[in-house]
Amino acid sequence: KNEVEQSPQNLTAQEGEFITINCSYSVGISALHWLQQHPGGGIVSLFMLSSGKKKHGRLIATINIQEKHSSLHITASHPRDSAVYICAAPPGGGADGLTFGKGTHLIIQP
């Protein structure tokens, strides 16, 4: 089973700050997912990446397959970015459901 660790668990920052959330996993994977869970509970897929870097608006995700590590960055953070950010990876061994990290609870203060 893949062990997925995220840090930090909680992060409070001021509007405009550059945010970094880290994720590490123990088993080699085909792709890693970054998800956003809104305060209302809905889950939205942000990225699925297997190598290098992806960018969508102010969000950037990077992954280093050799080091089994991924980061999610938010540039020019805004209060509406406040949410729980979750990384998830396949468990390995041919199974295909995702194993989720515990999430990073991000609060951006105005």
Partner 1 sequence: GAGVSQSPRYKVTKRGQDVALRCDPISGHVSLYWYRQALGQGPEFLTYFNYEAQQDKSGLPNDRFSAERPEGSISTLTIQRTEQRDSAMYRCASSLRIYNEQFFGPGTRLTVL
Nearer to partner 1, 94 or 110 (CB): 94
Whose structure tokens read 């668990």?
A: 9
Residues 44-83 touching partner 1, rule: CB under 8 A, are 44-45, 48
Q: How near is the Cβ of 76 to partner 1 at its closest, in Å? A: 25
Assess 21 for contact with partner 1 (CB under 8 A). no
Backbone φ and ψ for 80, nearest 5 degrees, come out as -70, -10
CA dist 10 → 51, 54, 64, 102, 104 (Å):
26, 24, 23, 11, 5
Assess 89 for contact with partner 1 (CB under 8 A). no
- Strand 19-25 and strand 52-56: the pairing is unpaired
Q: How near is the Cβ of 63 to partner 1 at its closest, in Å? A: 15
Give me the residues that bind partner 1 (CB under 8 A), please: 30-31, 33, 35, 41-45, 48, 86, 88, 90-91, 95-103
